[in-house]
Amino acid sequence: MTTLIYGGGGHALEVTAAAWRAGVIRPDDADVRFVVAALTDGSRGDLPYPVLTDAEVAAFVDGATTRVIVAVGDGRVRERIVARLAVSGVDATFPNVIDPDARLIGAVPEGVGLVAFSGASVSLRTELGWHVHLNVDAALCHESVVDSYATLAPKAVVCGRAQVGARSFLGAGSVVVDDATVPADAVVGAGAVVLPGLTGPGTYVGVPARRRP
């Protein structure tokens, strides 16, 4: 089946490696393409598959059902890519990319575009939205909720019954304590500790996390 990987940066390469390890794609697949917004020279020799621009996608897939891996680190951009696909006429499915060294104790919905890197863990009774990215050693504890397009950087931890809003970003080593909520569109800085009481989008840093002016 044709597979499109949206993105061309370092995160896309890491997602591609996880997809190889998970068996979602193979390095020698002839029907895999990277998709980037535009090319200045018509090529990207540093990527392991050929590259298309957005304008070339429809002709390449030619109406066939197409697997799409949205390999972009910024959840807001992931959401825009999925929205463009919805009106493009591409019949897209979104496989989960789960590294075999990820630790999934709880059930994970099929086909929601989840990316889970090596060491990422998902515990019991968790809820995951669409296109959530869990980087290396990120952890979701029991009964936590992570909404669509949220991103957890390496070693970020969401404790029991905590909630992470849509399109939010948790920096490396950050902790969301039990029962706390990260608002939608918030950015939590590396090493920050989120306690209950955060309200509204913004950038939160420190221990405990406070909104940065």
pLDDT category of residue 213 using cuts at 50, 70 and 90? confident
Domain boundaries, the chain: 3-93, 96-202
Q: Is the pLDDT of residue 42 over 60?
A: no
- CA separation for the pair 213, 209 (Å, rounded): 12
Task: Report the pLDDT value the prediction gives residue 137, as an integer from 0 to 100.
Answer: 98
| Superfamily of structural domain 96-202 | Hexapeptide repeat proteins (2.160.10.10)
pLDDT category of residue 44 using cuts at 50, 70 and 90? low
The average confidence (pLDDT) of the chain is 94
Task: Report the pLDDT value the prediction gives residue 39, as an integer from 0 to 100.
Answer: 54
Residue 41: Cβ-neighbour burial (10 angstroms; 0-12, 13-18, 19+): exposed
Q: Percentage of residues in the chain with pLDDT exceeding 90?
A: 88
Q: 3-93 — its CATH code?
A: 3.40.50.20
- CA separation for the pair 161, 126 (Å, rounded): 8
Partners of 66 in beta bridges: 92
- CA separation for the pair 83, 2 (Å, rounded): 20
What are the φ and ψ backbone dihedral angles of 168, each rounded to 5 degrees?
-80, 160
User: pLDDT tens, 134-187?
Assistant: 999 999 999 999 999 999 999 999 999 999 999 999 999 999 999 999 999 999
pLDDT (average), residues 19-40: 90
Task: Report the pLDDT value the prediction gives residue 14, as an integer from 0 to 100.
Answer: 97
Phi-psi region of 46 (alpha: psi -120 to 50; beta: other; left: phi over 0): alpha
What are the φ and ψ backbone dihedral angles of 73, each rounded to 5 degrees?
-75, -25
**What residue type is assigned to position 135 of the chain?**
N
**What residue type is assigned to position 84 of the chain?**
R
Whose CA is closest to 79, among 91, 89, 70, 88? 70
- For residue 181, the SS3 value is strand
Q: Is the pLDDT of residue 37 over 90?
A: no
Query: 39 or 50, which is more confident?
Result: 50
User: pLDDT tens, 61-111?
Assistant: 999 999 999 999 999 999 999 999 999 889 999 999 999 999 999 889 999
